[in-house]
Amino acid sequence: MTVDKTTKIFMAIIFTSIIAFLGMVAFYLFYVIPNGELGQAKKWQTLKHHEYSHRADRKIDAPVLEAKPDGDSYSALGVPTEIKDTPFVWVLLDGGDDFYGPVKLVPQSIVPHVKCTFVKNLPKIVKVDLPVLTYLQEHCEQG
């Protein structure tokens, strides 16, 4: 039994389609899910947890460092603000780079300003991703 040319072309198209489909499924499972919106949930949850927990704080004279508290897998830094309803801007220190960039803040509309000496000593205390450290250095205050 011989296979004609049309059947060979049809089989090649089917085989190529199956391989392409499996490639897209693998890409989705191993890249999109871990790095996409669902993969970010724990990082943003960590920031929102700290923001909510410290929302009522009124003694705000220094940054608050939450170095992987309560079994969290991420460390966060609360930088004091002058805003009554938002006493801290929370910065994720070790979340890594992804679709949303390396620097994650809550709330996102406020730029954190912390003393440069504190930023300089921060990596001695806790792991800080280089882009986050650079961001904090660019926005630190002398003195």
Partners of 89 in beta bridges: 79
pLDDT per residue as tens digits for the range 30-89: 877 766 666 667 888 888 888 888 888 777 778 888 877 556 578 889 988 878 788 888
**Every domain of the chain and the residues it spans:** 1-35, 41-138
SS3 call for 76: strand
Contact, 88 vs 57, CB < 8 A? yes
Do the bridges between strand 76-80 and strand 64-66 make them parallel or antiparallel, or are there none, so unpaired?
antiparallel
Q: Which residue has the tokens 């001695």?
A: 124
Exposed, middle or buried: residue 116 (CB in 10 Å: 0-12, 13-18, 19+)?
Answer: middle
Long-range CB contacts for residues 65-68, cutoff 8 Å, separation at least 24: 65/122, 65/125, 65/126, 67/125, 67/126
pLDDT per residue as tens digits for the range 93-143: 887 766 567 788 888 888 888 899 999 999 998 888 899 999 999 988 886
pLDDT for 99 equals 59
